[in-house]
Structures are given as C-alpha cells and as structure tokens.
Chain A
C-alpha cells in the first residue's frame, strides 16, 4: 500500500532509492532512536541549556552532527560515549519538556530541520544525478533523457492527481537530497514551493514548461454558454442572433497547466529537461543530447499518428466529451474538440446546470462516445452516459501515467493510448 503512494523510481532510473539511502538511512534512524540521542543528551553544550536561545537550529544541528559523527568515529568524541549523568537542560531540549510550548515547538522544528538539512551532505560523490520530478509524466521524461546517469524519484506517482496532492515528510527528505528538481509550473503543483522551502533544498528548481505558449483557462464551455445565454436574455425573451454568437470566455480563472498534451510543448519539456541535466552534470552532455534527439524523433512520429487519426475522422465526430477540462492544448494543436463536464480546477463541484448543458449538447450532436479520465470521479460522467444513452468510450490518461503494468506506463505510451482509445470509440458504429 505504501508502495502505491511512493513509487520506486522507474526501472530506467538506475540506482534505486534504497541504495541511495542505504547506509545513511540506517545511520540516521539509529542516530535518532537509539544511542546517539542518549549520547547527545549526555553532552551539556551551551546551546541546549537555553531552549529559547538565539540559535536553536544551530544547536540542534551541531548536536545531531556530533552524535552521528560519534557513531562513525567514537574515538574523536570520547565524552559522548562515556559519562552516565544526563544533563537536565539538554534533556529538556531534546525530549521536549520545557515549560513554554513555543520553546518546545521551536526545539522540535529545529531538530527536524537539522535532520533534513543534514541529508544532502551525506550523499556520496559518485552517485548518479538525483532528480526529483513533481509528477509521473515529468519523471518519465527525465528518466528517458537521463538514462543510466540519473536516478529519478517522483513525488506524485502513477494514477495520482497532481492538482490536489498532499506532500509527506518522505517527499521533503527526497527533495533535500536532490541535485535537481523538475516541476511542470503553470500553477499545476501549488504545493511545490512550500515543500521546497520546508525541505530547505538548495537544488535548482527547473520549470520544464518554460518557453511554451500558455493557454489561459477560461470558464468551462458550459459556463461560457450559460453566461452567453444570460447575456442574450432580456426579461423573458431570448435574442436568437445574440445566442448564436461567439462564446465569451473572458472570465479567466488562470493558466491551463496541462501543456504536455500538445506534443510541440512536450518537445520543449524534454529540451528543458536535457538542458537542466546538462547543467547539473556537464560530463553527461553527450548522452543527454543523444537521448534528447531520439526522444524528439519519437515525439514527431507520434504527432504524425495523431494528425493522421484526426484527419480520418469525419467532421461531425471530432468531439470528445470527458470528465475534466485537461485537453485544451490538444484541442488547440490538433483540432479535435473537447468538452468537459468539470472545470479543470479539480475542486470545483459541477452544478446541475453544467450537467444539463452537457446532456443537451450530447443529445443534439449525437456524440458517439464519452470518455472517463483516470484521475477523476467517474460517477457523474457515467450518469451522463446513461441519461443520454451514450457509450463510455474508454479511459483517457490526462494528468498521470498508469502503473507499469497498465496501458500507459510512459509518456509516449500515454499519448498513444489516448489517441487509440479516441480513434476506436469515435469510429465505432460508422
């Protein structure tokens, strides 16, 4: 169960996390739980004697480092292994009995920070580049570009929804140990900035979507249509000409983060990733350039497939109805129209008006199939399918890859799976 949440790095990623954290993980655990803490308690340093003193973090860090150092080289710190007497002030500081709650909180936080901050120093020199990607798509791209030279950890794993992820302390530890952090940007991972700050990571954070032309999110089409309907209505009368006019999306909510569905953007993503890797590990520049070129070729081939599939579809069938508004970039690039039940802001609960609008559209357009996305609640769209007598055409992967045994374990597989699913469902019954 825990493995579901924190997936191991993809198979390509070379050295796994267990190898990376191996000896040091064990030492850290031991240092905190067992002897080292006692060793620390027996040392009456000046910092711990004043829990609210000016440098609690520094004090804790020093203690922590000394304690771990004493495990490595007991002879250098003879006092830590020796005396039985426990200094009360130190004990108060570490165990957390000070009378003022603020002081206790500060002490706890200081210890935590010290533990986390001590992480990167522990990393050995010859390790592969430690890359942390915020979610599965970027993790897969980084693994594909970096190959053997990088070790990729992903925060939001397969089938996870990056919009609403809740980071865990494990994530902070990985960030602290990272050499490079890759994020999508465009507002997708709202939690990443706080997480990086909390982990005290000094790894460069690269926004892989840098350089794409962002699409502004509007209201959903349903909302825009309702707004138009209201604009064109005076009292009880509807101005028909006005109601047939263009939709007004002005009410912008933000930037659409799902840029990877346009493969031209995906090319920019991988180029950014390759550049970031080259900067972090100049020795591997050739490897990165070579795998980048290969990846770009595969992207181009995939793009040809998409265009061919869509060209073969009759005009009337070029509509895809799905659960959440994640395919704006796909629509702009390839001319297939997407209509979503739910605004891309995953928290927004669809209203009866949204549902009614979508049902009317489907009835009028005689859409052959509607689609479910893997990261969203499918009950509503199933209701719509039953109410309109439309088939569920299959599952589309929009925000996350599938687990390795699923149909979309890599980014290229995912795009391929989506377009095959769409093709099969929209061509059915012709």
Chain B
C-alpha cells in the first residue's frame, strides 16, 4: 500500500526521481536563504527579485533559444543588477530598500514584458519562463545541485556575521564593517537560488518554496538552527507530497508543491509550539491562573 502510493512512482518513472532531486536541491539551498530573508523582514524582496529575473531569462531565450545556460546567465545578470543596485541605492541615498527595489524591479519587469511581446515567437514565452519540474534535463540538474552546494558553503562561511547583521545590525556596525558585504552576499544568494528555482518551478513558484517553509518553521523553533532545519524539512516534505499529489490526482506539479508548503504554513500558524494562535492562547491562560 505505502509502496504503491509513495515509493513506486519514483521507482517506475525517471522524471519523478529527477523532479524530487531537483526539489531537494532547491529546498537545501533556497530555503535557508529564505529563512534569513524572513528574519531580516525581507520576505517580499524574494518576490521582487523573482520578477526582476524574468527579463534576463527572456533575453537569454531570445538570444540563444531554449538553453539552460543562456537563460541562467541572463537571469543572473538581471537579478544581480536589480538586487545589488537596490542595495546600493538603499545605502547611498534616502530611499528605503523596499522603495528602491520596487523602482528597479518594476522597470525590469516592464522591460521583460516588452521583450516578450516584441518577439511574439514560436513558443509562448511565458510557458518557457514558467519552467516545469517534470522536464528537468541533465544540465538543469547539475545547475541546481551546483547552486545548492555553493549556497550551503557560503552560508556556512558567513553564518556568524549574517546572524549578527540580521538580529542586531547596529551592533555589527560598531564592531566591524562587514555589514554591507553580508547584505550583498545574501541578496546574491537569493538571486542565484531564484534562478535555480526558476528552471524547476518557474520564477514565481520558486519564491514560494524559498519563503513559505521559512515562515512556517518560525512557529516550531526559537533558535535559528532549529528554524533552519525545520524549514528545510518542511520544504522537502512539501516537495514530496506535492509531487505525489500531482502523480495520483493529476494536479499540476509546481502549484501542488507550493500548496503543500502553504498547508504546512497554515497548520504551523494554528498549532505550532511557539507564538502560534494555539500557543498564545495556552500561554495566556497559564498566566491568568
């Protein structure tokens, strides 16, 4: 029974194995980055950057056709330009981060839409840009795994300043000048992980697997290490469940995965042990008694 429902789809079909491994890579690399974004109140930054990637990928597609390399490079260039420019403008002018990011990403998005309609070409470009987790080829797999590895190494190296800059940036500024560098590093990691996710889930769904598990994990642990592990676990579980739902009930895979993560979020919000609706209720009663 469990064999048929859970194991057999992956044994019988290579595309299911590929999809699962691809999702695992994104969960391992992207979700920890998402945790830091949430911690720094930059949850929506991911969404903005994902939109900014679109035109770069579109240019890559227009120049070189359906090639993983060209679309990756294009997406990276566009995402990094927008992310770093916004970071720079935030630190150099009066504009806040959200405002400068909004300015740049909307410009970039408009450019992307313009390029897409100028081509009006053979394959509907939006379909290409939406990616498909069921169609991962070898190149995309290598790219996903590579980006996950780079991200994990970078996070491990920069873990301490990243944590300090996230919880107490003022303190970090008094003892060291790494604050800006850490900020740019995180933005860069967000961009490369979104580019990776774009190949598997499409730009918009990639933000989902990055941020939603991170928000859900917040309700399960107090310490950062716990949140990180929990977020990755939720992302992996959501990927697995989503793929199986897609397999057994004929649902589109990308949205199914993100919906599972969303379900985990709602569940955590209701009954998680730390700061959830239930926990707060119990806590208050305890104080009253």
- Listed in ascending order, the chain A residues whose CB lies under 8 Å from chain B are 1-2, 4-5, 157, 159-161, 164-166, 168, 222-223, 226, 236, 346, 348-356, 359, 374-380, 382-384, 386-387, 400
How many Å lie between the Cα of A150 and that of B195 in the bound state? 49
Residues 261-284 of chain B: 1 if any A CB is under 8 Å from the residue's CB, otherwise 0?
000000000000000000000000
The verdict on A355 contacting B15 (CB below 8 Å), with A383-B134, A383-B135 known, is yes
Which A residues are in CB contact (< 8 Å) with B19? 352
B16 A4 Cβ-Cβ under 8 A: no
Closest 5 CB pairs of A and B: A349-B252, A353-B250, A5-B120, A379-B135, A159-B122
How many Å lie between the Cα of A353 and that of B134 in the bound state? 11
Which A residues are in CB contact (< 8 Å) with B137? 379, 382-383
Can you name 18 extra interface pairs (CB under 8 A) apart from A349-B132, A352-B134, A380-B132?
A5-B120, A160-B121, A166-B117, A166-B120, A168-B117, A349-B252, A351-B252, A352-B9, A353-B246, A354-B250, A355-B13, A359-B15, A375-B123, A377-B127, A377-B128, A377-B132, A380-B135, A386-B14
CB < 8 Å neighbour of B123 from A223, A226, A376, A384: A376
Q: List 19 A-B contacts (CB under 8 A).
A: A157-B120, A159-B121, A159-B122, A222-B250, A223-B250, A236-B1, A346-B127, A348-B252, A351-B246, A351-B247, A351-B250, A354-B250, A355-B15, A355-B134, A376-B124, A377-B132, A378-B123, A382-B137, A386-B14
Say yes or no: is B243 at the interface (Cβ < 8 Å to chain A).
yes
In the complex, the chain A residue whose C-beta lies closest to that of B130 is A349
Residues 222-259 of chain B: 1 if any A CB is under 8 Å from the residue's CB, otherwise 0?
00000000000000000000010011111111111000
In the complex, the chain B residue whose C-beta lies closest to that of A6 is B120
How many Å lie between the Cα of A353 and that of B251 in the bound state? 8
Say yes or no: is B66 at the interface (Cβ < 8 Å to chain A).
yes
B247 A353 Cβ-Cβ under 8 A: yes
CB < 8 Å neighbour of B13 from A222, A382, A387: A387
Q: Which of B132-169 contact A (CB under 8 A)?
A: 132, 134-137
B122 A375 Cβ-Cβ under 8 A: yes
How many Å lie between the Cα of A339 and that of B130 in the bound state? 24
In the complex, the chain B residue whose C-beta lies closest to that of A158 is B122
In the complex, the chain A residue whose C-beta lies closest to that of B242 is A352
Say yes or no: is B96 at the interface (Cβ < 8 Å to chain A).
no
A378 B246 Cβ-Cβ under 8 A: no
Say yes or no: is B118 at the interface (Cβ < 8 Å to chain A).
yes
In the complex, the chain A residue whose C-beta lies closest to that of B255 is A349
- Listed in ascending order, the chain B residues whose CB lies under 8 Å from chain A are 1, 9, 12-16, 19, 66, 117-124, 126-128, 130, 132, 134-137, 243, 246-256
Query: A322 to nearest B CB, angstroms?
Result: 15
Which A residues are in CB contact (< 8 Å) with B122? 159-160, 374-375, 400
The verdict on A352 contacting B118 (CB below 8 Å), with A377-B128, A380-B132 known, is no
Main secondary structure of the interface of B (DSSP, over half): helix
Query: B55 to nearest A CB, angstroms?
Result: 15
Query: B265 to nearest A CB, angstroms?
Result: 23
Query: A234 to nearest B CB, angstroms?
Result: 15
In the complex, the chain B residue whose C-beta lies closest to that of A376 is B123
Which A residues are in CB contact (< 8 Å) with B126? 164
B134 A380 Cβ-Cβ under 8 A: yes
CB < 8 Å neighbour of B247 from A164, A348, A356: A356
How many Å lie between the Cα of A158 and that of B210 in the bound state? 39
Which B residues are in CB contact (< 8 Å) with A349? 130, 132, 252-255
Query: B24 to nearest A CB, angstroms?
Result: 16
Q: Which of A353, A375, A376, A378 has the most CB of B within 10 A?
A: A353
B118 A378 Cβ-Cβ under 8 A: no
Which A residues are in CB contact (< 8 Å) with B243? 352
Q: Which of B9, B118, B135, B250 has the most CB of A within 10 A?
A: B250
B124 A346 Cβ-Cβ under 8 A: yes
In the complex, the chain B residue whose C-beta lies closest to that of A165 is B120
In the complex, the chain A residue whose C-beta lies closest to that of B4 is A236
How many Å lie between the Cα of A2 and that of B115 in the bound state? 10
Q: Which of A164, A165, A350, A380 has the most CB of B within 10 A?
A: A350
How many Å lie between the Cα of A400 and that of B122 in the bound state? 9
A5 B123 Cβ-Cβ under 8 A: no
How many Å lie between the Cα of A310 and that of B278 in the bound state? 67
A352 B124 Cβ-Cβ under 8 A: no
B16 A352 Cβ-Cβ under 8 A: yes
Which B residues are in CB contact (< 8 Å) with A350? 134, 252
How many Å lie between the Cα of A375 and that of B137 in the bound state? 21
A379 B16 Cβ-Cβ under 8 A: no
The verdict on A160 contacting B132 (CB below 8 Å), with A352-B246, A387-B15 known, is no
Which B residues are in CB contact (< 8 Å) with A159? 121-122
How many Å lie between the Cα of A349 and that of B124 in the bound state? 13
Query: A190 to nearest B CB, angstroms?
Result: 14
In the complex, the chain A residue whose C-beta lies closest to that of B118 is A1
In the complex, the chain A residue whose C-beta lies closest to that of B246 is A352
Which B residues are in CB contact (< 8 Å) with A400? 122
Which A residues are in CB contact (< 8 Å) with B124? 161, 164, 346, 375-377
A4 B15 Cβ-Cβ under 8 A: no
The verdict on A382 contacting B135 (CB below 8 Å), with A346-B124, A387-B14 known, is yes
Which A residues are in CB contact (< 8 Å) with B1? 236
Q: Which of B9, B66, B127, B134 has the most CB of A within 10 A?
A: B134
How many Å lie between the Cα of A157 and that of B243 in the bound state? 37
